[in-house]
Amino acid sequence: MTGHERESISTGTAPWLSGVAFSVILHGLIAVLALVGWSWSGSTPPEPQPNAISARLVSPEPKPSPVVEEQDREEQRQKERERQKREEERQEAERQRQQEEQARREAERQAEAQKQREAERQRQEAQAKERAEQKAREEEAARKKAEAEAKERERRRQEEERKRQEEARRKAEEEKRRQEEQRRKEEAERKRQAEEEAERKRREAERRLREQQLEALAEKQEQEAREAERRRREAEAARAREAQMLSESQKYQGLIRERLSQAWYPPSSATEDMTARLQITLLPTGELASVKLVNSSGNTAFDNSALGAVRSLSRYPVPDNRDTFERYFRQFTIEFNPERLR
Amino acid sequence: MKRIKSMTAKRAYPRSYANPVLTLAVAFLMLAATGSARAELLIRITEGANAAIPVAVVPFAESGTMPAGDKIGSIVRSDLTMSGQFNLLAPEKMLSLPSQRSDVYFRDWRMLGQRYLLVGQVSREGDQLRARYELFDVNREQRILGETASAPASRARSLGHHISDKVYEAITGEPGVFSTRLAYVTVAGQGEDIRYRLQVSDVDGKRSKVRLESGEPILSPAWSPDGKKLAYVSFETGKPVIFVHELATGERRKVADFRGLNSAPAWSPDGKSLLMTLSRDGNAEVYKMELASGDLTRLTHHWAIDTEGSWDHSGRGIFFTSDRSGGPQIYHMERLGGEARRITFGGRYNARPRPDANGEYVYYVHQREGEFVIARTHLDNGQESIVTRTGADESPSLSPNGRLLIYATEQDGDSVLSVVSTEGGAAYSLPAAEGEVRDPAWGPITR
Amino acid sequence: MKASLSPKVIALLMAAGLFAGCSSTGEKMDEESYGSDVEAIDQDGGATVYDGTDEEGGISSSAMTEEERREAREQQQQAEQEALRDITTFYFDFDTSEIKPEARDVLVAHARYLADNPRVQVRAEGHADERGSKEYNLALGERRAKAVERFLIVNGASRGQIETISYGEEKPAVRGSGEEAWAQNRRVELKFD
């Protein structure tokens, strides 16, 4: 509580901080507290020493001016010593005065305590009497209450007995019902199991059938896969052969083209618009079997130059591989079409 | 069908795939081709041998007394050689000398690498020479030409040129020019004795004949389209005057004798009018004169020199030389009296345009690094290329089939007429017998 | 060495530049065919040259009458003009018809002679060198002949006295090829009856 007070003070406005006002209020408070403290039993914690408080709070003095002349310092110290002495004397007197005051207060307090103890004793007596009366009243009430309780207990017991019998009957019925149920269940279970067994057997049969089918299917699939693989390999081989044939054919196409380009003398009347197409048939030896003009350029000299070129090769460069030859060179078309003249 | 594009085609063919429809069609064909089970191979040949065609001309068998001079077979051999398109087999390399089909062993000629074989026989029947000749395709072992032709014995060369023309046409698909003629001017002598001679000869320079002789300059001979007349400029009256000269009769007519210049005659394709350069109005301009009436139409109007008019292939417009840009350049006027468009831009001197017959090129005298050569410009793309490189080249004139170009130049300090293939390669030259030869004009094909 | 030369080089270049500037202006004027010919002649004035010769002639003026002096001057001028008129061939650069500056005095002398002798007829024959196209050269020769004709007319000759003709490359003065021959063949010859 005091802490609170102090705090409220310390947070108060500036004028309240003035030392004098502060000590006056504190003294007042201490006095009140002392009175209150003494009036109650010693259960309250002892107050902090007012001395210490007063000494701490009162002591602040305005500080001497820090700026002092050198020659004045001894005089200053002398004055200070005298002032201290005076202060000590004043304090001693104050102490004596306080001790006297305290003694006086002590006497008053003891008288007052005596008075209070007397009043206490009377009050306690009255209280004891009251307590005896109260006890009698309570015993009467307790007796009445016990009676009522006994009655109540009897009623409850009967009630419980009735409930118990009721319960036993209900339980017997329940048991009977349960057994009935159990029987039905067992019956159903047996029936179910029989059915399940049949189902299981049927499924088993089915499964076996299916397995057989799957096995057959798997076998078939495997066969098919093998077949597909075989076909794929064959196709791959064929493609490889084809590619080889193609690359070989391209090689020979290039050779034929080169030979024919060297052998072809386009006539001076040839234009880039002229195209003569010839179908030629070769023997596997590369010899020319036949040549047919399938598309005339419209210019006889041009057609003749193409026919002459085709006829001029005594032997066409053809692949040794018979398949490649048959595939590409047995019969093919040659187109003469000058891209840029001269 | 499988379509395999020629791998040898390094040079892009501009037309082939330019057409998107065609490209699509080709792509479709290729798709269709790969899909079909049995794709037939197609090999495309886009380039030929860059060489002359090997031809064997067997000396013709002869019966009866032959006229003196070159034999028919030799004339044909010489003609075909001059064209620059054939490589003639030397007779001493021949394994046999057949004169008719039954004597021909094709295998021999094939072994010798020959493409075509010409055999024949000439007989004399009175005043007439009769030639029976056959042309064979050696590889196909087929006769592609066979004919009997006759001519007076005095015209044996004509018979030879006729056979050459036939053979040339059978092999190349184009008419030959061996029976055409040349006109040119020779200059001989000096000072008071100087003689200018207008001459006409076969294309091989043989059978030349003087048509006009003068102590004063003759120049710019021009053939009429029917090959019967020559127009030219003669100074015989002391100034340049245009004459038209009937070759058969020798009859001459002064057609332009105006004040100042009368020069550069050029026949219209119908032979009814002449282009000419006159300065009668004070400055050289190109005019058109109707020969029947003598009516003149002035075609150019410029303070610069406008001269050397020449009809374009369409016969509607003209090419001419003008120095309106500072130096002589070739211009084309698409319609007579229309706007003139400059054709040549290479170099500072391009003159005397001679367009070809199919409107592809115009040929002209071109100065290049101080020398004068014959160049041509492609009329579609404006690209210029050099045709001759002899260095003092002038007066270009094209053969009627456009394959040969004759021009005047110098060889080892001698004046000659030189014939080259328009596609490059020298063919032959006709040296002047004495003095100088100049101003060649290639005559038309006449039948 | 290089550094020490450079100012000289610059000076030379500047001088050359000035020269080029002058000469090119002159050429430009020449190119302005008709009018410029007249101007050029007016500037020449001819007389100034001969006056100077007269003063420094060493002839004692006091020993001669005014009449005599004039006569003598005229005689001398006439002699010089006649000497000039011995020159009747005028040369041209390739593919041009510009009269060269050195030909002017001579042509002026010819023009004066024609002016003084209205009955005299002259033929201006234009020629080209052998190079290039014959027909174009014919036109070029004519243009050269006409350039001379015009010059003579401007300087006093009358149109009726002059006839022009071009021979193109047909009548070279000198046979042969090479710039030396060509330079002599690119010409206009004046032929007096």
Taken in order of first residue, the domains within chain A and their CATH numbers are: 238-336 (3.30.1150.10)
Instruction: Give the integer Cα–Cα distance in Å for B309 and B267.
Output: 10
Q: Does B260 sit within 8 Å of C135, measured CB to CB?
A: no
Q: Which DSSP letter does residue B392 get?
A: B
Predicted pLDDT of residue C63: 58
Instruction: Determine what percent of chain B is predicted with pLDDT higher than 70.
Output: 91
Query: What are the chain A neighbours of B18 within 8 Å (beta carbons)?
Result: none
Closest CA to B157 of B263, B254, B68, B227: B68
Each residue of B69-109: pLDDT tens digit? 778 999 999 999 988 889 999 999 999 999 999 999 999 99
State residue A11's pLDDT score: 41
More confident residue, A228 or B117: B117
Q: Where in chain B are the domains?
A: 2-43, 53-172, 182-442
Chain length of chain B: 447
Give pLDDT tens digits for B315-345: 999 999 999 999 999 999 999 988 999 999 9
Q: State the pLDDT confidence band at B33, using cuts at 50, 70 and 90.
A: very low
Interface of B with A (CB under 8 A): 1, 4, 6-9, 11, 13, 15-16, 40-51, 53, 85, 110, 115, 137-140, 144, 169-174, 403, 423-424
Side-chain half-sphere of B436: how many Cα atoms within 13 Å? Answer: 22
Q: Say yes or no: domain C34-192 is CATH 3.30.1330.60.
A: yes
Interface A-B, measured as beta-carbon pairs within 8 A, has a size of 123
* Six token digits for residue B288: 């058109």
- Cβ–Cβ below 8 Å for B260 and C142: yes
Q: Is residue A258 a contact partner of residue B43, using CB atoms and an 8 Å limit? A: no
State how far the Cα of A310 lies from the Cα of A275, in Å rounded to an integer.
Answer: 14
Give the model confidence (pLDDT) of B350-407 as tens digits. Answer: 999 999 988 999 999 999 888 999 999 999 999 999 999 888 899 999 999 999 999 9
β-bridge mates for residue B306, sequence order: B322
Chain B residues touching C150 at Cβ < 8 A: none
Tell me whether chains C and A touch (3+ CB pairs under 8 A). Answer: no
Chain B residues within 8 A (CB-CB) of chain C? 190, 217, 219-220, 233, 235, 238-240, 260-261, 263-264, 277, 279, 284, 305, 307-308, 321, 323, 327-328, 349, 351-352, 365, 367, 372, 392, 394-395, 410, 438-439
The answer to ipTM > 0.85 is no
pLDDT attached to residue B198 = 96
What are the residues of chain C with a beta carbon less than 8 Å away from any beta carbon of chain B? 95, 130-136, 138-140, 142-143, 164-168, 170-171, 175, 177
- If we measure between CA atoms, which residue out of B44, B62, B46 comes closest to residue B4? B44
CATH placement of domain B53-172: 3.40.50.10070
Which pLDDT tens digit goes with each residue over A48-89? 444 444 444 444 444 545 454 556 677 788 888 888 889 888
CB B281 within 8 A of CB B298: yes
Instruction: Name the more confident of A186 and C83.
Output: A186
Domain at B182-442, CATH homologous superfamily: TolB, C-terminal domain (2.120.10.30)
Residues in chain C closer than 8 A to B308 (CB atoms): 133, 135-136
Query: Can you give the pLDDT at residue B432?
Result: 78
DSSP string, B122-155: EEEETTEEEEEEEEEETTTTEEEEEEEEEEEGGG
Cα(B302)–Cα(B325) distance, integer angstroms: 11
The residue written with tokens 């020479």 in the block is: B129
Measured at the CA of B114, the angle between CA B112 and CA B119, to 5 degrees, comes to 105
Dmax over CA atoms of chain C, in Å, equals: 68
d(CA B146, CA B170) in angstroms, rounded, equals: 10
The pLDDT of residue A28 is 65
Q: Which residue has the higher pLDDT, B48 or B25?
A: B48
Q: How far is residue C21 CA from its own chain's centroid?
A: 22
**Closest chain B residue by Cα to residue A268:** B172
Q: What does the pLDDT read at residue A82?
A: 87
Q: Which among B2, B43, B112, B168 is the top mutation candidate for probing chain A, defined by the most A β-carbons within 10 Å of its own β-carbon?
A: B43
Contact C132 B238 (CB under 8 A): no
Across the interface, do B305 and C140 touch by the CB < 8 Å criterion? Answer: yes
Please name the chains neighbouring C, where neighbouring means 3+ C-beta pairs under 8 angstroms.
B
Q: Give residue for tokens 């042509």.
A: C107
Find chain A residues with C-beta within 8 A of B49's C-beta: 261-265
Indicate the pLDDT class of residue B291, thresholds 50, 70 and 90.
very high
Q: What confidence score (pLDDT) does residue A26 get? A: 66
pLDDT at res. C11: 47
pLDDT in tens, chain C (193 residues): 444 445 454 444 444 444 443 333 333 333 333 333 333 333 333 222 223 333 344 444 455 677 888 888 888 888 888 888 889 999 999 999 999 998 999 999 999 999 999 999 999 999 999 998 999 999 999 999 999 999 999 999 999 999 999 999 999 999 888 889 999 999 999 999 7
Find the helix or strand (DSSP H, E) in which A334 lies.
strand A331-336
CB contact under 8 A, B439 and C135: no
Q: What is the pLDDT of residue A236?
A: 87
Q: Which residue has the higher pLDDT, B49 or C141?
A: C141
Best of B349, B350, B366 to mutate (most C CBs within 10 Å, chain C): B349
- Can you give the pLDDT at residue C147? 95
Number of other residues whose CB lies within 10 A of the CB of residue B246: 13
Q: Which residues of A50-85 are buried (b: 16+ CB within 10 A; e: fewer)?
A: beebbeeeeeeeeeeeeeeeeeeeeeeeeeeeeeee
Cβ pair B68, B62 in contact under 8 A: no
| Cα–Cα distance, A188 to A89 (Å, whole number) | 118
Q: Which residues contact C46 (CB under 8 A, 6 or more apart)?
A: C105, C108
CA-CA distance, A276 to C116, in Å (whole number)?
83
